C-alpha cells in the first residue's frame, strides 16, 4: 500500500490508529506487526511469505549470535552465514535476472529469465535486518528475544517499503518501552501531512512533465526541453523521496518512535561530498558503517581508500537497481568523491559560493540522467541533447509552452528545496501564541484537502476530454 492513496488515508490509517491506541501496552507491538503485515500484503499478497521468512531467519541468527557471545565462543560463523542468507535473498529476488541477462549476453548462453516481480521494500528491510545482526555481533545492541518486537522492527509499516533504513540501535529501547504523547502525535501528524503534500502536490505534479518529455524522441528534443525534463526529474525525485521519508518519520512519531533524519536539504550543498551527507543519509551511513569502515576506510593510505570508495559506490549504485545505468551512476559519484578528496575540495574552497552551487547541481542533475534512463545508451543520448550535440534548436514553441505552463510550480519547487519555507514557518510559529497554532492547523488542513482533491481526481476521466 502507498501512503498517498485514499485507501491508506481513510481506511487503513483510521483503523490502525483506533486499534493502536485502544490496545493495552503489552499488545501495541502486536497491533503494529499485524497492521504492517496487512499493509505489506496489500497488492503483494504472495511475497508476505518472504518477509516473514526474513524475520524468522534474522531472529534466529540473532539468538544464535547472542548465545555464542555469551559463552565466549566466536560468533563469526553465524554472523557470516546470516549475512550470506540475507544477501542471497536480496540477490535472488532482485539481481537474478540481471545476472542471467549478462551471462546470456557475454557468454551467449540461453538461460531462461525468472521474471520475478521485485518484492516490495526488500532492499530496505534486508538492510535493516543485516544491521541488526552485525550490530549484535559488535555488541552495539542487545539481543531481541521477543519475536513480536523483532518482527515489528523489520516490518514496521512507516518505513517498510522506502526507508529510512532504521537501525536497531536507534529504536531498540523504544521497541521495548516507549511512551506516546500529544507532542509527538502533533509533530508526527504535521510531518506526515508535510510529506504527503510534497509527494502528491509537488512530486507527482512535476512528474507529469518528466513523463511527457521522457516519452518524446530524445535526439530530436530542443536543448531547453531536455533541460526542463531533467530538472523536472531532479525535483520529482527529491520531493518524492524526501516526502516519503517525512511521512515515515511522522507516522513513526505518532506511534512514539523517533527515527533519524534521512534528508537535509541536499540541493543546497556546495560540493558532492556535502551532497552525500545530506541525501538519503540512512543509506550512506549504512554503507559507511557496515562496508566502508570494515574495509579499512581511510586508515591504510590513499590507494586503499580510493579502492574502498570505489567498492562502496559501485555497490551503492547497484543497490538502487539491477541495471548497468545504476552501477554507472554510483561509480560516477565515487569518482567525483575521490577527486574532491584528493584535490578538488581545496580548489572549491577558494571559489565563490554561487559557482560552487552551480558545480554541485550540474553534477547532480547529470547524475539523474543516468539514474532515470532506461539504459546507458539512452542516458548518453540525453546528455548529448542537453549540450546541443545533435545541433537541435535551443527552444521551440512547445518548450516555451511547457515552461509557461509549469513556471509557478517550478518556482515553488526551487524554493521548497531550501530551508526558506521552514525558516519562514518557524518565524511565525515560534511566537508560540494561539494564533500560530491556528495558523499551523489551518495550513495542515489546507494541504490535506488539496491532497484529497488530487487523489480523488486521479481516477477522474471526464468524457469531455475524449471528444477533442
Partner 1 sequence: MKNRLIAVVFTAVIFIGSITAWCYPVKEYSKEENRALQKMPEFNFQRLIRGKYIKEFENFTTDQFPLRNGWVAVKSYSDLALGKKITERYISDPTKHFFLWTI
Is the CB of residue 359 less than 8 Å from the CB of residue 196?
no
Any contact of residue 173 with partner 1 (CB under 8 A)?
no
Which of these segments, 11-19, 70-78, 130-138, 392-400, binds partner 1 (CB under 8 A)? 11-19
Any contact of residue 303 with partner 1 (CB under 8 A)?
no
Q: Name the minimum Å distance from CB 358 to partner 1.
A: 27
List 258, 320, 357, 377, catalytic entry:
320
Q: Which of residues 384-403 bind partner 1 (CB under 8 A)?
A: 401
Spatial distance between the Cα atoms of 73 and 207, rounded to a whole number of angstroms: 54
Of 205 and 269, CB closest to partner 1: 205
Secondary-structure breakdown of the chain: helix, strand, coil percentages, each rounded to the nearest 5: 75, 0, 25
Any contact of residue 5 with partner 1 (CB under 8 A)?
yes
- In order of 36, 102, 411, the CA distances from 97 in angstroms are 29, 8, 41
Q: Which of residues 422-441 bind partner 1 (CB under 8 A)?
A: 432, 434, 436-438, 440-441
Q: Which of 359, 306, 315, 362 is nearest to 335 (CA)?
A: 306
Site size for partner 1, by CB under 8 A? Answer: 58
167, 190, 198, 199: residue in contact with partner 1 (rule CB under 8 A): 190
7, 294, 296, 389: residue in contact with partner 1 (rule CB under 8 A): 7
Spatial distance between the Cα atoms of 222 and 398, rounded to a whole number of angstroms: 9
Any contact of residue 6 with partner 1 (CB under 8 A)?
yes
Spatial distance between the Cα atoms of 293 and 299, rounded to a whole number of angstroms: 9
Question: Per-residue string for binding with partner 1, 36-75, x by CB under 8 A?
Answer: ------xxxxx-----------------------------
Q: Name the minimum Å distance from CB 255 to partner 1.
A: 13
Any contact of residue 11 with partner 1 (CB under 8 A)?
yes
Any contact of residue 198 with partner 1 (CB under 8 A)?
no
Angle at 156 between CA 154 and CA 159, to 5 degrees: 100
| 214 classed as catalytic | no
Q: Name the minimum Å distance from CB 218 to partner 1.
A: 22
C-alpha distance across the termini of the chain, in Å: 35
Q: Which of 164, 91, 84, 175 is nearest to 124 (CA)?
A: 164
Q: Name the minimum Å distance from CB 438 to partner 1.
A: 7
Is the CB of residue 168 less than 8 Å from the CB of residue 131?
yes
Any contact of residue 34 with partner 1 (CB under 8 A)?
no
Of 202 and 369, CB closest to partner 1: 202
Spatial distance between the Cα atoms of 159 and 35, rounded to a whole number of angstroms: 13
Cis peptide before 268 (omega within 30 of 0): no
Spatial distance between the Cα atoms of 266 and 274, rounded to a whole number of angstroms: 8
Compute the CA torsion angle 82, 152, 321, 133 (nearest 10 deg). -20
Any contact of residue 13 with partner 1 (CB under 8 A)?
yes
Binding footprint of partner 1 on the chain (CB under 8 A): 5-7, 9-11, 13-14, 17, 42-46, 182-183, 185-187, 189-190, 193, 205, 208, 401, 404-409, 432, 434, 436-438, 440-441, 444-445, 448-450, 452-465, 468
Which residues does the annotation mark as catalytic? 320
Amino acid at each position: 500500500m502507498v501512503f498517498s492513496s485514499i485507501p491508506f488515508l481513510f481506511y487503513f490509517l483510521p483503523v490502525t490508529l483506533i486499534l493502536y491506541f485502544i490496545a493495552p501496552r503489552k499488545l501495541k507491538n502486536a497491533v503494529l506487526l499485524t497492521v504492517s503485515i496487512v499493509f505489506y500484503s496489500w497488492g503483494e499478497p504472495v511475497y508476505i511469505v518472504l518477509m516473514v521468512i526474513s524475520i524468522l531467519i534474522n531472529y534466529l541468527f540473532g539468538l544464535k549470535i547472542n548465545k555464542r557471545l555469551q559463552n565466549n565462543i566466536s560468533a563469526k560463523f553465524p554472523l557470516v552465514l546470516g549475512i550470506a542468507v540475507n544477501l542471497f535473498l536480496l540477490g535472488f529476488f532482485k539481481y537474478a535476472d540481471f545476472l542471467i541477462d549478462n551471462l546470456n549476453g557475454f557468454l551467449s548462453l540461453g538461460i531462461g529469465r525468472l521474471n520475478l516481480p521485485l518484492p516490495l521494500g526488500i532492499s530496505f528491510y534486508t538492510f535493516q535486518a543485516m544491521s541488526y545482526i552485525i550490530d549484535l555481533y559488535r555488541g552495539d545492541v542487545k539481543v531481541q528475544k521477543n519475536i513480536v518486537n523483532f518482527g515489528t522492527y523489520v516490518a514496521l509499516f512507516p518505513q517498510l517499503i522506502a526507508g529510512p533504513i532504521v537501525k536497531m540501535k536507534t529504536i531498540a529501547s523504544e521497541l521495548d518501552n516507549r511512551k506516546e504523547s500529544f507532542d509527538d502525535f502533533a509533530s508526527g501528524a504535521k510531518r506526515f501531512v508535510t510529506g504527503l503534500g510534497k509527494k502528491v502536490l509537488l512530486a507527482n505534479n512535476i512528474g507529469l512533465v518528466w513523463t511527457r518529455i521522457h516519452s518524446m524522441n530524445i535526439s530530436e528534443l530542443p536543448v531547453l526541453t531536455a533541460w526542463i525534463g531533467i530538472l523536472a526529474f531532479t525535483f520529482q525525485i527529491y520531493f518524492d523521496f524526501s516526502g516519503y521519508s517525512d511521512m515515515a518519520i511522522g507516522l513513526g512519531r505518532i506511534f512514539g518512535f523517533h527515527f533519524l533524519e534521512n534528508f537535509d536539504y541536499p540541493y543546497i550543498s556546495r560540493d558532492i561530498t556535502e551532497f552525500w551527507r545530506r541525501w538519503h543519509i540512512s543509506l550512506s551511513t549504512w554503507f559507511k558503517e557496515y562496508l566502508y569502515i570494515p574495509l579499512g576506510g581511510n586508515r591504510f593510505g590513499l590507494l586503499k581508500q580510493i579502492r574502498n570508495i570505489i567498492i562502496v559506490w559501485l555497490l551503492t549504485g547497484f543497490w538502487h537497481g539491477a541495471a548497468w545505468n545504476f552501477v554507472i551512476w554510483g561509480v560516477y559519484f565515487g569518482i567525483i568523491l575521490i577527486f574532491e578528496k584528493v584535490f578538488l575540495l581545496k580548489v572549491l574552497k577558494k571559489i565563490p559560493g554561487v559557482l560552487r552551487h552551480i558545480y554541485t547541481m550540474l553534477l547532480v542533475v547529470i547524475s539523474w540522467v543516468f539514474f532515470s534512463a532506461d539504459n546507458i545508451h539512452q542516458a548518453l543520448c540525453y546528455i548529448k541533447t542537453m549540450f546541443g550535440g545533435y545541433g537541435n534548436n535551443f527552444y521551440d514553441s512547445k518548450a516555451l509552452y511547457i515552461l509557461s505552463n509549469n513556471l509557478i510550480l517550478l518556482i515553488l519547487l526551487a524554493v521548497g528545496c531550501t530551508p526558506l519555507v521552514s525558516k519562514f514557518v518557524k518565524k511565525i510559529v515560534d511566537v508560540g501564541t494561539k494564533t500560530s497554532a491556528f495558523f499551523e492547523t489551518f495550513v495542515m488542513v489546507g494541504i490535506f484537502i488539496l491532497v484529497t482533491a488530487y487523489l480523488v481526481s486521479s481516477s477522474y476521466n471526464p468524457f469531455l476530454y475524449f471528444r477533442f
